[in-house]
């Protein structure tokens, strides 16, 4: 979709990352974690099971080295084989049970993460379904897709793996620290100072770099996804315009930007592992040296030193896991911020169901309506019109005059800044949007078909329709003929966006979809612009019968499609400059008459006439 503010657009007409994110301040880390925690809270049973497993695993982690020390002091040094075998058997059982506990932790946490991420993904998709079109107009679709896929998956990785490592690491550290202080407070102090303090200092330094790097990486990835989606969607245009090589160069440039930001983020993330290993080895050296002095002075046994050496290694391992998890957390928090940015967007404001639309007549009135996609630049200025029930209103004018904007306001795709729009005398904002849109069928020039069968696409607006009703609607739209010649008729699969059908065929299916919906108000936005003259006449015959008794708004480039309209409104620069029926406007000598060719263009009107014919190619009739 177009970017409404050109000043924010990059060289390809999309928002640059700097501009797009300029109004998004970095969120508070604690607030983001609290929001993620709220998604975890419904999984209380799983979390309690996880806590029990982690506590048991932490206890077993602390028990192993203790048994090793006892084996040395009671079995190896006294050369007591029986005690050594018994302790070794117990140690083997401890390590086997601990392995099972670790597997169970992974299984439980994976199940919890899957449920949490399903909730996040559902909330995000539901939010996208309730956001106004303005949100999609101002963002690259690929970036939105990236938030729904890549960012959500990053959060999934964090919850499924990193969360387990954090809690397990914390409890293991506390358990080991408790046993160490019980066995030898001096050695415990040396071990903690040589490992924990250095670890926290190193993480403080890394934290300054990793968060920014991962946020930049996620943003660049979203931009690249948007670019890829755009090029794939416009593949025919790219080839037709010979832009293949230049687009490859553009891709290389954006890919290089992502490579640089990703490299910066991963360098700091990758540095955490070696740094933690160095700290662990430093702790081992400190414990070994200090422990050796204690042994030489008769203040500790060899088994105790062996126990503390293992504790020093194990004490460093959960800290190392927490450090590595911290980097994963930075990436996940950056992804969570992008997801929560969408969830925090203001959804469409709907009305309290005060009025029912089940039996509307279809009278539509615009009174002093002003609207602009940006408040500082009005597209429509003081629009006043009234369509009686069953009338056909035609909107014509140069491209960009505001014709489509008028019908976008009627469907409440956008909200007006000033004025009032009424249906049957009631303010449009009094009706719930979903009920309003059920009474309005829209056929656009840019037809969108969904993956599925032809029948499913026709019935998209009325899922309970019978096959007979679907076929009848297709016959009225003159689509039945070509549909029956498809390989599987109405059950033929439609490619993505209807790529295996011609544009005219796609429009006929869209018209059949509108006919089947049987609304009270029709909006036809250049709906016959891509069909040939013969098909257009057939559609017009069907439309005349269908629109009888229903209010219709028709935007068309061909005068033949609107000559029988009850009212023809000429819109120029956001204002209605002429109104009347075909005969009245043909004699008025204005824009409509010049487009017909009835009035020669004077030098004063030359520019307007050229603009009308170059941007508004009407087929002359009469």
Note the pLDDT of residue 370: 92
| 356 backbone φψ class: left, alpha, beta (φ>0; ψ -120 to 50) | beta
Is residue 604 very low, low, confident or very high in pLDDT (cuts 50, 70, 90)? very low
Note the pLDDT of residue 323: 65
- Residues 251-297 have pLDDT tens digits of 888 888 888 888 877 777 777 667 777 777 777 787 778 877 887 87
| 319 or 170, which is more confident | 170
8 A C-beta contact, residue 2 and residue 141: no
Within 10 angstroms of residue 286's Cβ, the number of other Cβ atoms is: 17
Note the pLDDT of residue 16: 38
Give the integer Cα–Cα distance in Å for 272 and 266. 10
8 A C-beta contact, residue 378 and residue 574: yes
Q: Environment class of residue 154 by beta-carbon count within 10 Å: exposed (0-12), middle (13-18) or buried (19+)?
A: buried
Q: Environment class of residue 37 by beta-carbon count within 10 Å: exposed (0-12), middle (13-18) or buried (19+)?
A: exposed
Q: Which secondary-structure segment (H or E) carries 354?
A: none
> Which residues on neighbouring strands pair with residue 580, listed in sequence order?
568
| 569 or 478, which is more confident | 569
Give the integer Cα–Cα distance in Å for 572 and 398. 7
Owner of token pair 């996804």: 225
Mean of per-residue pLDDT scores for the chain: 78
8 A C-beta contact, residue 193 and residue 290: no
- Top-ranked range on mean pLDDT: pick from 142-151, 322-331, 421-430, 605-614: 421-430
Q: Which secondary-structure segment (H or E) carries 517?
A: helix 503-517
Read off the tokens for 32: 């983001």
Is residue 599 very low, low, confident or very high in pLDDT (cuts 50, 70, 90)? low
Q: Which of helix, strand or coil describes residue 27?
A: coil
Q: What is the mean pLDDT of residues 344-357?
A: 67
| 24 or 493, which is more confident | 493
What are the residues whose beta carbons fall under 8 Å from the beta carbon of 394, sequence distance 6 or more?
Answer: 553, 554, 555, 556, 561, 562, 565, 567, 568, 569
> Which residues on neighbouring strands pair with residue 387, listed in sequence order?
364
Owner of token pair 């397990």: 168
Give the integer Cα–Cα distance in Å for 266 and 214. 8
Residue 428 pLDDT > 70, yes or no? yes
Gyration radius of the chain over CA positions:
35
Q: Which of helix, strand or coil describes residue 555?
A: strand
Residue 619 pLDDT > 60, yes or no? no
Residue 365 pLDDT > 90, yes or no? yes
- Residues 369-394 have pLDDT tens digits of 999 888 788 889 999 999 998 888 99
| 14 or 228, which is more confident | 228
Within 10 angstroms of residue 403's Cβ, the number of other Cβ atoms is: 24
Q: What is the mean pLDDT of residues 340-346?
A: 87
Note the pLDDT of residue 529: 61
Residue 490 pLDDT > 80, yes or no? yes
User: Which range, of 13-17, 133-137, 571-575, 590-594, averages the lowest pLDDT?
Assistant: 13-17
8 A C-beta contact, residue 566 and residue 393: yes
Within 10 angstroms of residue 7's Cβ, the number of other Cβ atoms is: 6
Q: How far is CA 381 from CA 117, 281, 574, 577, in A?
A: 46, 74, 6, 11
Sign of CA dihedral 388, 389, 392, 397: positive
8 A C-beta contact, residue 93 and residue 110: no
Read off the tokens for 332: 């996940």
Residue 121 pLDDT > 80, yes or no? yes
Note the pLDDT of residue 163: 76
Q: Which domains does the chain have, with CATH numbers?
A: 29-215+265-343 (1.20.1560.10), 448-518 (3.40.50.300)
């Amino acid at each position: 979709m177009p970017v409404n503010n050109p000043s924010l657009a990059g060289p390809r007409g999309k928002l640059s990352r700097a501009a797009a994110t300029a109004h998004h301040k970095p969120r508070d880390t604690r607030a983001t974690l609290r929001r993620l925690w709220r998604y975890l809270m419904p999984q209380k049973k799983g979390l309690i099971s996880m806590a029990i497993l982690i506590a048991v695993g932490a206890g077993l982690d602390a028990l192993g080295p203790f048994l090793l020390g006892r084996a040395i002091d009671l079995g190896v040094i006294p050369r007591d084989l029986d005690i050594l075998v018994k302790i070794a058997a117990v140690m083997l059982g401890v390590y086997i049970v601990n392995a099972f506990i670790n597997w169970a932790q992974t299984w439980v946490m994976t199940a919890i993460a899957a449920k949490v991420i399903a909730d996040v993904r559902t909330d995000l998709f539901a939010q996208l379904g309730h956001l106004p079109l303005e949100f999609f107009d101002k963002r690259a679709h690929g970036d939105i897709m990236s938030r729904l896929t890549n960012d959500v998956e990053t959060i999934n990785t964090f919850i499924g793996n990193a969360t387990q490592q954090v809690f397990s690491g914390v409890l293991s550290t506390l358990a080991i620290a408790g046993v160490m202080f019980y066995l030898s407070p001096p050695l415990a102090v040396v071990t903690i100072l040589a490992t924990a303090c250095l670890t926290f200092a190193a993480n403080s330094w890394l934290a300054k770099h990793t968060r920014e790097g991962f946020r930049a990486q996620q943003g660049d990835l979203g931009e690249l996804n948007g670019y890829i989606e755009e090029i794939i969607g416009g593949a025919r245009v790219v080839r037709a315009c010979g832009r293949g090589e230049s687009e490859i160069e553009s891709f290389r440039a954006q890919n290089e930007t992502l490579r640089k930001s990703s490299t910066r983020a991963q360098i700091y993330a990758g540095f955490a592992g070696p740094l933690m290993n160095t700290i662990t080895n430093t702790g081992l050296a400190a414990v070994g040296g200090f422990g050796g002095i204690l042994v030489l002075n008769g203040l500790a046994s060899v088994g105790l030193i062996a126990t503390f050496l293992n504790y020093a290694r194990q004490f460093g391992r959960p800290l190392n896991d927490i450090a590595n998890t911290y980097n994963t957390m930075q990436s996940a928090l950056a992804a969570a911020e992008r997801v929560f940015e969408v969830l925090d967007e203001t959804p469409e404001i709907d009305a309290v169901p005060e009025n029912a639309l089940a039996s509307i007549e279809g009278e539509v009135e615009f009174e002093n309506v002003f609207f602009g996609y940006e408040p500082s630049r009005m597209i429509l200025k003081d629009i006043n019109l009234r369509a009686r029930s069953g009338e056909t209103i035609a909107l014509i004018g140069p491209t960009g005059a505001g014709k489509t904007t008028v019908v976008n306001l009627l469907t409440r795709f956008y909200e007006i800044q000033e004025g009032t729009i009424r249906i049957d005398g009631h303010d449009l904002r009094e009706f719930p949007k979903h009920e309003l849109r059920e009474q309005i069928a829209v056929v656009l020039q840019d037809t969108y078909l969904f993956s599925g069968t032809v029948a499913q696409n026709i019935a998209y607006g009325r899922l309970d329709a019978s096959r007979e009703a679907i076929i009848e609607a297709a016959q009225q739209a003159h689509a039945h003929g070509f549909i029956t010649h498809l390989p599987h008729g109405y059950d033929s699969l439609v490619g993505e966006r209807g790529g295996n059908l011609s544009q005219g065929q796609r429009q006929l299916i869209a018209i059949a979809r509108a006919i089947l919906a049987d609304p009270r108000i029709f909006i036809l936005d250049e709906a016959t612009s891509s069909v040939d003259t013969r098909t257009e006449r057939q559609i017009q015959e069907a439309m005349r019968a269908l629109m009888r008794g229903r209010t219709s708004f028709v935007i068309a480039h061909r005068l033949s499609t609107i000559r029988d309209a009850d009212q023809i409104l000429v819109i120029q620069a956001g204002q209605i400059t002429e109104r009347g029926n075909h005969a009245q406007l043909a004699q008025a000598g204005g824009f409509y008459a010049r487009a017909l060719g009835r009035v020669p263009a004077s030098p004063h009107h030359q520019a307007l006439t050229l603009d009308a014919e170059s941007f508004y190619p009407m087929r002359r009739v009469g």
